[in-house]
A = this chain, B = another copy of it.
Amino acid sequence: MSVTAAEGFEAAGVAAGLKSSGGPDVALVVNRGPQKTAAAVFTSNRAKANPIMWSQEAIRDGRAEAVVLNSGGANCFTGSFGFQTSHQTAEKAADLLGVGAIDVIVCSTGLIGTGDEVFRQKVLEGTTAAAGRLSADGGESAARAIMTTDTVPKQATRTRDGWTIGGMAKGAGMLAPGLATMLVVITTDAVLTPQQADQHLRSATRTTFDRLDSDGAMSTNDQVTLLASGASGIEPDAVAFRDALTDLCLDLATQLMADAEGASHEIHIRVTGAVTEQDAVTVGRSVARNNLFKTAIFGNDPNWGRVLAAIGTTNAQFDPYDTDVTINGVRVCTKGGPDRPREEVDLTPRRTTVDIDLRVGDEAATIMTNDLTHAYVHENSAYSS
């Protein structure tokens, strides 16, 4: 179970003909209350899709009744017609649910530039069909309806002292900082104010989804939405809720990384000894985005020189000749020079850890990324997005 794990939520996923495969492509998640608290974070890409522009307005009052999501078309760079489509989608769902359109969030994913009249009709019909199939068991079908190149649906739940958090996510490429063609809906039956929901969500995404940098390419459509029904009647301990939400987001982010397009390694870049957390993030991201590092890992080559060269492009406080690099537990570089023989490093497992100790401070951060493979090139040269 996922977005319907918490009390007070119903969901559905239906096939509306947006995907050429005929698979499910429109999902609806509805908050039955009693509370209708909501928060969302959006792509920081300045080229934002129409559903993002609609949803940014809709979330402003910290309240939402439902989320409509579609795959099979990003409705991005589709002009004012496209914005009207997002608006009409919200109105359609609102009519069906007997709520206000401004309380309906809209998310889209798929090919940029897709958003014509045919697209609009299918999304509206899909919304109607989904509204007719809402159920407290519908989480799985909703999770499947938002998949694009994903090979598996991504779901997670956490239950603590009388309250539950559930979530679903899609995304398998363009996973980049500030979120990435990644749609996430998280629900909880905990009692939260809009301010609490917003703070918890920003805190949790900052160290999870925001640290996932699969290929450095930021999407136009990313959105993570949190809906709180209050159905448990329990006001959670703030620290416990934040920890559980962060843990659930990390779970979903890890599932996204594991399903990234064409990847053969899931790479955790742990930067320690930084002066600031931001320095640690900057260093990790620079390594994660270095194509020479990424291809080396694909080739099972523990190429620490490329790691140091990537760090050298940043403005982080560090001395290349006082930096240590450990790959899969083998210290291959000590103080900017060779240490253990590279032959000792086993890079055959998918899970890869690169530990970078900058030795100048006490702050740390982990960036998650993938290697750069033939399959990535194939998938992204053949699939339009």
Question: Residues of A within 8 Å of B, CB-based: how many?
Answer: 61
Q: Are A306 and B385 in contact (CB under 8 A)?
A: yes
Say yes or no: is A329 at the interface (Cβ < 8 Å to chain B).
no
Q: Which of A299, A318, A333 has the largest number of chain B CB atoms within 10 A?
A: A299
Say yes or no: is A311 at the interface (Cβ < 8 Å to chain B).
yes
A382 to B312 CA separation, bound complex (whole angstroms): 23
User: Mind listing 6 A-B residue pairs with CB under 8 Å?
Assistant: A46-B318, A77-B337, A78-B337, A215-B291, A289-B289, A291-B372
Contacts of A293 in B (CB 8 A): 217
Task: Name the residue on B nearest A305 (C-beta).
Answer: B112
Contacts of A304 in B (CB 8 A): 77, 113
Contacts of A76 in B (CB 8 A): 305
A220 to B376 CA separation, bound complex (whole angstroms): 27
Contacts of A219 in B (CB 8 A): 309
Q: Are A374 and B378 in contact (CB under 8 A)?
A: yes
Cβ proximity bits A193-220 to B, threshold 8 Å, 1 near / 0 not:
0000000000000000000000111111
Contacts of A337 in B (CB 8 A): 77-79
Cβ proximity bits A342-385 to B, threshold 8 Å, 1 near / 0 not:
00000000000000000000000000000011101110111011
Task: Name the residue on B nearest A215 (C-beta).
Answer: B291
Contacts of A248 in B (CB 8 A): none
Which listed residue, B299, B313, B376, touches A218 by the CB 8 Å rule? B313
Which listed residue, B79, B311, B377, touches A373 by the CB 8 Å rule? B377
Q: A216-B290, A290-B216 are in contact. Are A77 and B380 (CB under 8 A)?
A: no
Contacts of A113 in B (CB 8 A): 304-305, 338
Which listed residue, B47, B298, B309, touches A47 by the CB 8 Å rule? B309
A219 to B77 CA separation, bound complex (whole angstroms): 37
Say yes or no: is A125 at the interface (Cβ < 8 Å to chain B).
no
Which listed residue, B77, B295, B336, touches A305 by the CB 8 Å rule? B77
Q: Whole-angstrom distance from the CB of A258 to the nearest CB of chain B?
A: 19
Say yes or no: is A292 at the interface (Cβ < 8 Å to chain B).
yes
Q: Whole-angstrom distance from the CB of A291 to the nearest CB of chain B?
A: 5
A321 to B81 CA separation, bound complex (whole angstroms): 13
Task: Name the residue on B nearest A174 (C-beta).
Answer: B292
Cβ proximity bits A3-19 to B, threshold 8 Å, 1 near / 0 not:
00000000000000000
Which listed residue, B74, B338, B380, touches A292 by the CB 8 Å rule? B380
Contacts of A338 in B (CB 8 A): 77-78, 113
Q: Which of A78, A217, A333, A372 has the largest number of chain B CB atoms within 10 A?
A: A217
Q: Are A217 and B112 in contact (CB under 8 A)?
A: no
Q: A47-B308, A312-B45, A312-B218 are in contact. Are A384 and B301 (CB under 8 A)?
A: yes
A53 to B113 CA separation, bound complex (whole angstroms): 49
Contacts of A132 in B (CB 8 A): none
Contacts of A377 in B (CB 8 A): 295, 298, 372-374, 376-377
